[in-house]
Amino acid sequence: MPDLKLIDPCNRHLNYLRISITDRCNLKCMYCVPRDHITRLSHDEILTYEEILRLVRIGIKLGISKIRVTGGEPLVRKGVYGFLGELSRIKGLTDLSLTTNGVALKDNLEKIKSAGIKRVNISLDTLQRKKFAQITGLDLFGQVWQGIEMARQMGFHPIKLNIVALAGVNDDELKDMARLSFDYPYHIRFIEYMPIGDSQMGNGPLLLAPEIKKRISDLGTLIPVRNSVNDGPAQRYRFEGARGEVGFIHALSHHFCDRCNRLRLTASGQLRPCLLSDHHEDIKGPLRRGCSDDELAEIFFRAVRHKPSDHNLAVHNPDRVCGQMSAIGG
């Protein structure tokens, strides 16, 4: 295999692979999927764990050092804990994390820990039980909150709580969410809603990071926290005296493409160099046709050559990105 690293035409070093291991999910979040008529990939269409592990080993030789396992909901896929264990034993991986909706967290934290996962991102778009059911389709707030608390008690750190900020839905809770960072060591992440695939969202006004920041600012002085090399694009802050942090993922209001180090492997076996562009390279076909590691490495390079310098999503009249977030991997 060539001793080359994944460096794109803009000289960005891609060392971070997000893997969606399933497009299935036990929730139907209003901003992520339509409530009805969800087309799902068949079992044969999704990559097997063995296939994913082979691609990860190739990716690591090409400079991938950080992996996030996501979905769909990763914890609904059979065999996921064994898979996570296999992943964490691969040499060269310095950072392995998981994004989950937290529904299956409380009963499986031991298995997640034993598999070698030290940190988790959990989606939590509201602190109100009724609204949780409205956003996700299921009345499971208590169960998710219990999972978050147990994860903290078991030493997972940092625990990042992902909140997609939705005008008219959870914007009355921005301060309550931010306030959590005073009492708990959680990293609260406000995410701007992105128009990806079909969802239950209309074309209403967007709630952007500068506005969120303004609305929570009277809780205290926001002190910037410097990102370390392997950190994501979040703009990070800590309120004076707080135990945790707040951060903003502002894909629309402030593109962070110049710092993007990500590549995505979708549940259906496509390499996507940018979440917000529809370009993808099929790697499952060649993998199943018996291509060598060198040939598969070339597909990684091809994807990287197509990484756009910037995405086209704009605050005004944003185009919708094709493909569901659940299959691409958020």
Does the footprint of ligand SAM cover residue 31 (CB under 6 A)?
Answer: yes
The packing angle between helices 129-136 and 141-153, to 10°, is: 100
**Cβ atoms of 244 and 186 closer than 8 Å:** yes
Q: Scanning the structure block, which residue is given the tokens 């996507």?
A: 272
Pick between residue 140 and residue 297 the one whose CB is nearest to ligand SAM: 140
Q: Which residues contact 228 (CB under 8 A, 6 or more apart)?
A: none
Nearer to ligand SAM, 7 or 150 (CB): 150
Contact characters 38-77, ligand SAM, x per CB under 6 A: --------------------------------xx-x----
Is the Cβ of residue 32 or residue 64 nearer to ligand SAM in the bound state?
Answer: 32
**How far is it, in rounded angstroms, from Cα 234 to Cα 68?**
16
- What would the DSSP string read from start to end of 10-52? T--B--EEEEE--S--S---TTTS-SS------GGGSPPHHHH
Burial of 116 (0-12, 13-18, 19+ CB in 10 A): middle
Cβ neighbors of 150 (< 8 A, separation 6 or more) are 105, 106, 109
Q: Scanning residues 8 to 27, which ones bind ligand SAM (CB under 6 A)?
A: 25
Site string for ligand SAM, 71-90 (x = CB under 6 A): x-x-----------------
Q: What is the contact mask toward ligand SAM in residues 270 to 309, using x (rule: CB under 6 A)?
A: ----------------------------------------
Q: Which of 101, 181, 266, 270 binds ligand SAM (CB under 6 A)?
A: 101
Q: Distance between CA atoms of 59 and 307, rounded to whole angstroms?
A: 16
232 binds ligand SAM, rule: CB under 6 A? no
Interaction between residue 164 and ligand SAM (CB under 6 A): yes
- Selected from 196, 283, 287, 304, the binder of ligand SAM by CB under 6 A is 196
Task: Evaluate whether 178 touches 219 at the Cβ level (below 8 Å).
Answer: yes
Binding ligand SAM (rule: CB under 6 A), the pick from 19, 21, 32, 58 is 32
For residue 294, the minimal CB distance to ligand SAM (Å) is 32
Contacts with ligand SAM, residue ranges (CB under 6 A): 25, 31-32, 70-71, 73, 99-101, 123, 162, 164, 191, 193-194, 196, 325-326, 330
